Structure 1
Amino acid sequence: MYIITLNLTEKKGEAAAHMAAHNEWIAKGFEDGVFLLVGGLKPQGGGAILATCDDRSEIEARMAADPFVREGIATAQIQEVSPARADQRLSSLKVAVA
């Protein structure tokens, strides 16, 4: 499982021009079963993604394909998480909790 943050750069003013493509990219992540949650970071802006995938290189390639990352509007920080415990409310997530 991965927690990914999208941190805006000095080019954040160009985000509106790429928002439709970014939203299509997000939709594809959900369609592919990789994205579990996507949302905005408050109050600073940017975004966060909770993703599941067996191969980190696939996550890295997916993030590089994000129009915001590709155009330099945001940088992606990928943090791998190895869940050890989860609340029952998260039982629907595709994670192997030890």
Structure 2
Amino acid sequence: MAEHKRWIDEGFEEGVFLMTGSLSGNQGGLVIAHGTTREVLEERVARDPFVKEDVVRVEIAEFAPNRADGRLQFLVDRA
């Protein structure tokens, strides 16, 4: 778990991760990433210790925002 947390910390430190958290019903976790390509994100995800050890199954979904609360407008402006 410590290595996985370090992997998450790196994502935040490098400005790629905006938010992480647990899904309800013990269904796993979610990472919201921004400012990267799918290819680079896939490479980053492949380095997650949970992925390397087959603890989790990964699904990457791309999202193109077109409207947001003012606090998140930067996501729309950069999309």
> Do the two structures share a fold, i.e. TM-score over 0.5?
yes
Percent of matched pairs sharing the same residue: 46
Q: Which runs of 5+ in 2 are unaligned?
A: none
Q: SS of the counterpart of 1:79?
A: coil
Contact 2:21–2:29 (CA<8 Å) still a contact in 1?
A: yes
Cα deviation, residue 90, structure 1? 1.7
Q: Aligned-pair RMSD on alpha carbons?
A: 1.7
User: What letter corresponds to residue 88 of structure 1 in structure 2?
Assistant: G
Between Structure 1 and Structure 2, which shows a larger proportion of strand residues?
A: 1
Q: Which has the higher helix share?
A: 2
- Count of aligned positions: 79
- Alignment deviations for residues 62-88 of structure 1 (CA, whole Å, 9 cap, x no partner): 011100011000011000111111111
Higher relative contact order (CA 8 A, sep 6+): 1
Q: TM-score, normalised by structure 2?
A: 0.89
Letter in 2 for 1:62: R
Rounded Cα–Cα distance in structure 2 between residues aligned with 1:64 and 1:97: 25
Deviation, 1:54, is 3.2
